[in-house]
Amino acid sequence: MPTDELISVAQAMVAKGRGILAADESSPTIKKRFDSINVESTEENRRSYRGLLFDTPGFEKHVSGVIMFDETLRQKAADGTPFPDLLTSKGVVPGIKVDKGAKPLAGFPDEKITEGLDGLRDRLKEYYDLGARFTKWRAVITIGHTIPTGFCIDANAHALARFAALSQEAGLVPIVEPEVLMDGSHTIERCEKVTEITLNHVFFQLMAHRVLLEGMVLKPNMVISGKDCDVQAGVHDVAEATVRCFRRSVPASVPGIVFLSGGQSAKLATQNLNAMNAMGDHPWELSFSYGRALQEEALRAWAGKSSNIAKAQKAFYHRAECVGAARYGKYTDAMEAA
């Protein structure tokens, strides 16, 4: 894909008022989601569930792209339309998770490295032919008493940059996801420091690997308190710390930042994004790439029953509408009851 097309797709992914649905749960993760509603995680049930999301009337008003798992990218809607074609027909960009998961980093207790670079070039070509136009790779950084180490951050930043360069070579826009986990008792101040260091290392490697920054999208964590921290930072503090951190670390040439929800509730993830956008203009679009925070209500409404599809789609659309409003800083608590 020529440079101008990479830039065009990246800009479409962070279009005003829209964001990205993360529907790329791995097989073990989607099984946990289905277990919570007592539904068996069969291939057909997974296809039906993803299909109801992708076929929700009007969801494309608020969703610009969808990240899929390998299995999902190859599946079809009930009428036989391949999922990538269904999404493209709605003006939604199809994407694919390409990493092989975070594994223990040898020699570094409690730290992880994401695998999946071997054979990636050939897989990317196949994914492009299947209709994908962007990719995603997640790296995880854990905060603890003596971690993260500089080596762990460097190793993951290097892998993210190699993935991004290979993706652009294949004509695919990379979503670069360095996630500083909320697991732990750390303060918001510690999260901000670790996030800033991580982002600085990531962008050093991206530029060293000659990645076109205008043709990529960043998917980071928000700067928040650890989930076991005694004092949880409020929405205002999260918004201020996050924007301050990213202004220090993310070049203005990046078209957009699509935050992950990272275990936050649907409402809190929406409130935090809204507060950031209500602060005024930023160098990049501040958007979302939520998984559970977009899907949780729809999943419970569906409960594995075809008779509940319309109810589930209504729940999904409502959440997408709320988060879409947060893209403008126009979300209100009153919208929750609508």
For residue 90, indicate whether it is catalytic: no
- Residue pair 138/180 in contact (Cβ under 8 Å)? The answer is no
Burial of 331 from C-beta contacts in 10 A (0-12 / 13-18 / 19+): buried
CA 168 and chain centroid, separation: 18
Please tell me the distance from the alpha carbon of residue 67 to that of residue 291, in angstroms, as a whole number.
9
Structure tokens at 59: 């969801």
Pick the catalytic residue: 25, 111, 177, 321?
A: 177
Residues in the chain: 338
Strands 285-290 and 19-23 turn out to be parallel
Helix, strand, coil content of the chain in percent (nearest 5): 50, 15, 35
What amino acid is encoded at 52 in this protein?
L
For residue 76, indicate whether it is catalytic: no
> What DSSP assignment string belongs to 129-191?
HHT--EEEEEEEE---SS-S-HHHHHHHHHHHHHHHHHHHHTT-EEEEEEEE---SS--HHHH
Pick the catalytic residue: 97, 112, 136, 219?
A: 219
Active site positions, annotated: 177, 219
